[in-house]
Amino acid sequence: MKKTPTKMADGRELIYYDEDESVIRDNTDLRKLPELQFTSEIRHDPLLDEWVVVASHRQSRTFLPPTNRCPLCATSAENPTEIPASDYDVVVFENRFPSLALSALDIDPAVPVDAGLVDRRPARGRSEVVVFTSDHDRSFSQLSLARVRTVLDVWADRTADLSAMPGIEQVFPFENCGIEIGVTLSHPHGQIYAYPFVTPKTNRMLRSARHYREEKGRNLFVDVLAAERRLGERVVVANDNWTAFVPSAARWPIDLHIYPHRQMPDLTGLTSTERADFAELYLTVLGKLDALYGKRLPYIAGWHQAPVSRDRDLAYLHMELFSVQRAADKLKYLAGSESGMAVWINDATPERIAEMLREAGI
């Protein structure tokens, strides 16, 4: 894999990741782009003890443009896009409408937020777009094994780079797939958020893992994986280095956790064999999702990685993938109980979900 970092017309970073080591990337972004001004901030919610990102400049972001105006396609004479090349493999660039940006301006002290109760800081992190292929009409599940492997290498490389940037505390590569869940660009892509804090979800898991280690002297994630593999009831697919299982307290109609068999803090620790095995298993998983109802399911898939600078021995790299599709023609909505009280109601048992997925697409 060849990595070529470049700059876009407005100064944002764009990186080509090419499978062919001989490719030369010397195109220039010729567009005239407006100067960027990021006013994102993070605010600490004193009641829930969680950071919230306030990114007011994003209201005007691109919303489902027609295909011939897709900003993620390769550049043509008619459509100068975010990617100033006539073709590419995988490309990563800084989001034009970022939630988090290292260049976020200082907090405007004129906005009164009552600093006594509410901590405010510039949202200095990074929001990257990862374009998986130049083929606008492909889905992740249709990528070649080699390309999935490249994407995994890119995620790992970005994790290393972003973890080294000032103030970054957690790196979250994820894919939102499907118009049903609000995806605003249909070209196959994912995102990476590099947060300037440890996320609430990760904090909760680490708290549980800390209690468990204090009580039992063992790693919670290791024991959860071992229990699932021993029981087998909720395992959907596994190979030598990975197991995909439905968690015992699944929240979503489709809810899959994919663990490597070795504990490690983040993607950078994966061996070459582990990477190859993930690519193979992940394509099987996505094939099952497509087969389940004979249509492409909306899903969210994200990598849970250790915080950059603490609890790296407690954490356990894994992917969580879930879908709101609760039947062929029905979506699960987060209503009062979920959104209001954080109590998830699942209409399907985790064992039944696992059975459906095991049987799908064989």
Build a one-symbol-per-residue string for 13-52: x at contacts with a copy of itself by CB under 8 A, - elsewhere: ------------------------------xxxxxxxxxx
| Contact between 114 and 43 (Cβ < 8 Å) | no
Among 95, 150, 163, 202, contact with a copy of itself (rule: CB under 8 A): 202
Nearer of residues 142 and 346 to a copy of itself, judged by Cβ: 346
Cα–Cα–Cα angle for 219, 164, 312, nearest 5°? 5
- The footprint of a copy of itself on residues 46-85 (CB under 8 A) is 46-56, 58-59, 63
Question: Which of the following is catalytic: 189, 257, 304, 318?
Answer: 189
- Rounded CA-CA distance 64/182 in Å is 10
Nearer of residues 8 and 301 to a copy of itself, judged by Cβ: 301
Q: Is 44 a catalytic residue?
A: no
Helix residue spans in 81-219 (DSSP H): 145-163, 200-216
- Give strand pairing partners of 325: 331
- The footprint of a copy of itself on residues 300-339 (CB under 8 A) is 300, 302, 320, 322, 326-327, 330-337, 339
Min separation Cβ 52 and a copy of itself, Å: 4
Applying CB under 8 A, the span of 129-137, 153-161, 180-188, 273-281 interacting with a copy of itself comes to 180-188
Between the CA of residue 63 and those of 58, 71, 80, 132, 179, what are the distances in Å? 11, 11, 17, 20, 11
Nearer of residues 74 and 314 to a copy of itself, judged by Cβ: 314
Total number of residues that touch a copy of itself (CB under 8 A): 87
Among 172, 245, 278, 282, contact with a copy of itself (rule: CB under 8 A): 172
| Contact between 213 and 314 (Cβ < 8 Å) | yes
Instruction: Count the alpha carbons within 13 Å of 14 in the hemisphere toward its beta carbon.
Output: 22
Applying CB under 8 A, the span of 16-24, 84-92, 271-279, 342-350 interacting with a copy of itself comes to 342-350
- The footprint of a copy of itself on residues 103-122 (CB under 8 A) is 111-114, 116-118
Between the CA of residue 116 and those of 44, 46, 302, 309, 321, what are the distances in Å? 11, 10, 35, 28, 39
b/e 176-189 (16+ beta carbons within 10 angstroms → b):
bbbeeeebebbbbb
Min separation Cβ 262 and a copy of itself, Å: 18
- Rounded CA-CA distance 251/100 in Å is 28
| Contact between 172 and 199 (Cβ < 8 Å) | yes
Helix (H) or strand (E) holding 223: helix 220-231
Question: SS3 of 318, please?
Answer: strand
Applying CB under 8 A, the span of 7-15, 20-28, 192-200, 260-268 interacting with a copy of itself comes to 192-200
Question: SS3 of 18, please?
Answer: strand
- Give strand pairing partners of 97: none
Applying CB under 8 A, the span of 17-25, 148-156, 172-180, 283-291 interacting with a copy of itself comes to 172-180
Applying CB under 8 A, the span of 11-19, 23-31, 70-78, 203-211 interacting with a copy of itself comes to 203-211
99 lies in the binding site for a copy of itself (CB under 8 A): yes
Structure tokens at 192: 């990476």
Nearer of residues 271 and 337 to a copy of itself, judged by Cβ: 337
Nearer of residues 160 and 342 to a copy of itself, judged by Cβ: 342
208 lies in the binding site for a copy of itself (CB under 8 A): yes
Burial class (CB in 10 A: 0-12, 13-18, 19+), 332: buried
Min separation Cβ 128 and a copy of itself, Å: 12
Catalytic amino acids?
189
